[in-house]
Structure 1
Amino acid sequence: MSPSSSRQKIYGLIMAITSAALWGLSGTCAQFLFEQKGFDPERLVCWRLLAAGVILVTFSSTKKNNDTLRIWKKKTDALNLLLFGILGMVAVQYTYFYSISLSNAATATVLQYIGPLLVVAFYAIKYRRWPILAEYASLALALIGTFLLVTHGSFDQLVISEAALFWGLLSALALAFYTIQPVGLLRKFDPATVTGWGMLVGGLVFAFFGKPLDVEGIWDLEAWIAFSYIILFGSVISFYFFLKSVTLIGPSTASLLCSVEPLAAAGVAVVWLGVYFGPMDWLGTLFILTTIVLLALGTRKKKEGKESQIHLPG
């Protein structure tokens, strides 16, 4: 490996890890706005989608050979984009933020990362194949990890509310749909174009329900900093870093490194917001994150010609 290619790989690894950390911190910023500034999940999701969508679509239009408008020319592509924006982007953002409002950023982020296991289950059913050993192990670890995270090992009670568990698992299901549904679009169009339009369409539709003009909460300097972080660093810059890392180290490695996101969310929530995350919580988190590693390694071994498929995080 030449010094330049080795240097590019290091840059790619740093960018992938940084993007995951930025995404994780955005969840903690959302928790801060909900708990201490009186923000509403519906409005925050709406603002995030609209602002980040406009920025990403604009960014996409400046790229050479951009396909910003071409994505709307065919009815099938336009329909898939609408479905992605409404049922994918809105669902994954709202369920995740609402789950945070009911529990905390650490728990909500870890629960959402059960989503990749649901993706594996979907393709196993679709292609009528038995799961491989790594996938069976991932299922067992995910179940144990979730049990420890929500009960601390007790069969008698939950340590989070039933609503928080429900919305956390729903966010995992939404993440699975969000990962599977736009695959066809991602094979034809730039990821920034797909994600930007998905956010913008989702934000416009959700605006009818989220009432973005009914401003609530305490809009002081701290709130503006947290809100701006969610839009710029937690959406636009993190997404750009992730896409850049994909070109340097490949989508499989970049997606695997995104498992840093729950650790970042948990660590910052504990240090900044004083969220209690005990030994059972960390153990459950470790089990769930191990499923991501096993699934990534199993997928890499199969190499079914899907290296060009990019998972869209965030």
Structure 2
Amino acid sequence: MQAEAIASKSKALGIFLVLSSALLWGLSGTVAQYLFQVKGFSPEWLVTVRLIVSGLILLVISFAKNKRTVFKIWKSKNDRMSLIMFSILGMLSVQYTYFVAIDASNAATATFLQYLAPAMIAVYFVFLNKKLPNGKELLALAFALVGTFLLVTKGTVDSLSISKEALFWGIASAFALAYYTIKPKSLLDHWDSPTIIGWAMVIGGLGISIVHPPWQFVGTWSIGSLFFVLFIFLFGTLIPYYCYLESLKYISPSETSMLASIEPLSAAIVSVIWLKTTFVMMEWIGALFILGTILILSNDKKPI
């Protein structure tokens, strides 16, 4: 009984962590849309500075807790390569593709497209486990396809309601989120979340700095824009990324990605209310289909 109680508390903690991260990410996506479309900020600059500043802060915190852990991760060849891959293909990719998708459309559309990731994760594990998809997985995939179609076409077959650029980057962000969810499991078995996230952010930020140096700024500064940039650093990066990866210690990657489905809802609601983003009925139906994908998969008792 005691073991069951501990397991239940651990799962509850994992759920709380991932829900917190999803809510904050949804809010930060809408804030990013404001900075891009109202203040003229570039996604490249925001991603670069966001990663480097937030990553350095996390490494300082990790160093203060345990000086040896911060640099010890580089002594393991396998972990070193995994960290570099996670930094570029996971951390940097999920940030960059998502922000560019927001810039090309809006926070709500970009976030809904990104949350095709659970369906991609399900397909990945089907191939990994070399088994045929079950009924729920097939239904979830159908929901994902129908939802995406309605979201990007408004139900009109002969035209896209969003640009091809927005569609491309939205789908790319879903692949990046799927990779980001699956990849760090082995790293988390050996190292703490702040160390992994801190290094991943710094490496990703330095990587994109080669192409987009942080001193090449475009946009309009004001007290409001400064506040929103700081909001993205703290509540859109440091806290949610820590919570998201920490949740993987208590619940599975598939459960984590499914529970995080509240992010697109929060992004959509705030975007519509605050930035007056227009969503027609077909787009809402498409969004509900995508959310339905996650709900279908989350009701599968077997781990994906």
TM-score (norm 1): 0.87
Q: Counterpart of 1:71 in structure 2: which amino acid?
A: I
Q: Secondary structure at the match of 1:177?
A: helix
Equivalent residue, structure 1, for 2:122: 120
The 5 Å alignment of 1:188-199 reads 188-199=190-201
User: Does residue 103 of structure 2 align to residue 101 of structure 1?
Assistant: yes
The 5 Å alignment of 1:48-63 reads 48-63=50-65
Counterpart CA distance in 1 for 2:246 and 2:21 is: 10
Q: Counterpart of 2:194 in structure 1: which amino acid?
A: A
Equivalent residue, structure 1, for 2:184: 182
Q: Indicate if the aligned counterparts of 2:154 and 2:283 stay in contact, CA closer than 8 A.
A: yes
User: Kindly tell me: are residues 297 and 56 of structure 1, through their superposed partners in 2, closer, same or farther at Cα, counting changes over 3 Å?
Assistant: farther
Counterpart CA distance in 2 for 1:198 and 1:288 is: 29
User: Does residue 176 of structure 2 align to residue 170 of structure 1?
Assistant: no
Offset of residue 137 of structure 1: 0.9
Specify which of 268, 271, 278 is matched with residue 280 of structure 2.
278
Counterpart CA distance in 1 for 2:9 and 2:209 is: 44
Q: Indicate if the aligned counterparts of 2:120 and 2:175 stay in contact, CA closer than 8 A.
A: yes
Counterpart CA distance in 2 for 1:149 and 1:258 is: 19
Q: Indicate if the aligned counterparts of 1:46 and 1:206 stay in contact, CA closer than 8 A.
A: yes
CA RMSD of aligned residues (A): 2.6
Specify which of 204, 208, 217 is matched with residue 219 of structure 2.
217
Offset of residue 152 of structure 1: 1.0
Equivalent residue, structure 2, for 1:78: 80
Q: Indicate if the aligned counterparts of 2:97 and 2:173 stay in contact, CA closer than 8 A.
A: yes
Offset of residue 131 of structure 1: 1.2
Equivalent residue, structure 1, for 2:23: 21
Offset of residue 123 of structure 1: 2.0
Counterpart CA distance in 2 for 1:253 and 1:92 is: 19
Counterpart CA distance in 1 for 2:58 and 2:89 is: 19
Unaligned runs of 5+ in 1: 305-314
Q: Indicate if the aligned counterparts of 1:19 and 1:258 stay in contact, CA closer than 8 A.
A: yes
User: Kindly tell me: are residues 240 and 163 of structure 1, through their superposed partners in 2, closer, same or farther at Cα, counting changes over 3 Å?
Assistant: closer
Q: Indicate if the aligned counterparts of 2:108 and 2:268 stay in contact, CA closer than 8 A.
A: yes
Counterpart CA distance in 2 for 1:142 and 1:34 is: 28
Question: Larger deviation: 230-239 or 258-267?
Answer: 230-239
Q: Indicate if the aligned counterparts of 1:60 and 1:66 stay in contact, CA closer than 8 A.
A: no
Counterpart CA distance in 2 for 1:78 and 1:11 is: 29
Q: Secondary structure at the match of 2:70?
A: coil
* Cα deviation 1:75-100 (Å, max 9, x = unaligned): 12111111111222111111110011
Question: Larger deviation: 4-13 or 56-65?
Answer: 4-13
Counterpart CA distance in 1 for 2:123 and 2:67 is: 36
Q: Counterpart of 1:271 in structure 2: which amino acid?
A: I
Percent pairwise identity: 46
* Cα deviation 1:104-132 (Å, max 9, x = unaligned): 00000000111121122122222211112
Q: Counterpart of 1:302 in structure 2: which amino acid?
A: K
User: Kindly tell me: are residues 58 and 168 of structure 1, through their superposed partners in 2, closer, same or farther at Cα, counting changes over 3 Å?
Assistant: same
Q: Indicate if the aligned counterparts of 1:95 and 1:168 stay in contact, CA closer than 8 A.
A: yes
Offset of residue 289 of structure 1: 1.3
User: Kindly tell me: are residues 40 and 294 of structure 1, through their superposed partners in 2, closer, same or farther at Cα, counting changes over 3 Å?
Assistant: same
Specify which of 207, 211, 220 is matched with residue 209 of structure 2.
207
Counterpart CA distance in 1 for 2:236 and 2:57 is: 13
Q: Secondary structure at the match of 1:276?
A: coil
Q: Indicate if the aligned counterparts of 1:33 and 1:223 stay in contact, CA closer than 8 A.
A: yes
Unaligned runs of 5+ in 2: none
Counterpart CA distance in 2 for 1:124 and 1:10 is: 27
Counterpart CA distance in 1 for 2:84 and 2:284 is: 38
User: Kindly tell me: are residues 73 and 272 of structure 1, through their superposed partners in 2, closer, same or farther at Cα, counting changes over 3 Å?
Assistant: same
* Cα deviation 1:221-266 (Å, max 9, x = unaligned): 111111111110011122344466667x745665433111000111
Q: Counterpart of 1:56 in structure 2: which amino acid?
A: L
Q: Counterpart of 2:288 in structure 1: which amino acid?
A: L
Q: Secondary structure at the match of 2:210?
A: helix
The 5 Å alignment of 1:238-253 reads 238-242=240-244, 250-251=251-252
Equivalent residue, structure 1, for 2:238: 236
Offset of residue 173 of structure 1: 1.6
User: Kindly tell me: are residues 55 and 246 of structure 1, through their superposed partners in 2, closer, same or farther at Cα, counting changes over 3 Å?
Assistant: same
The 5 Å alignment of 1:290-309 reads 290-298=292-300, 301-303=301-303
Q: Counterpart of 1:100 in structure 2: which amino acid?
A: I
Offset of residue 204 of structure 1: 1.0
Question: Larger deviation: 255-264 or 56-65?
Answer: 56-65
Counterpart CA distance in 2 for 1:79 and 1:243 is: 19
Q: Secondary structure at the match of 2:130?
A: coil
Q: Indicate if the aligned counterparts of 1:27 and 1:100 stay in contact, CA closer than 8 A.
A: yes
Counterpart CA distance in 2 for 1:242 and 1:167 is: 22
Offset of residue 47 of structure 1: 0.8
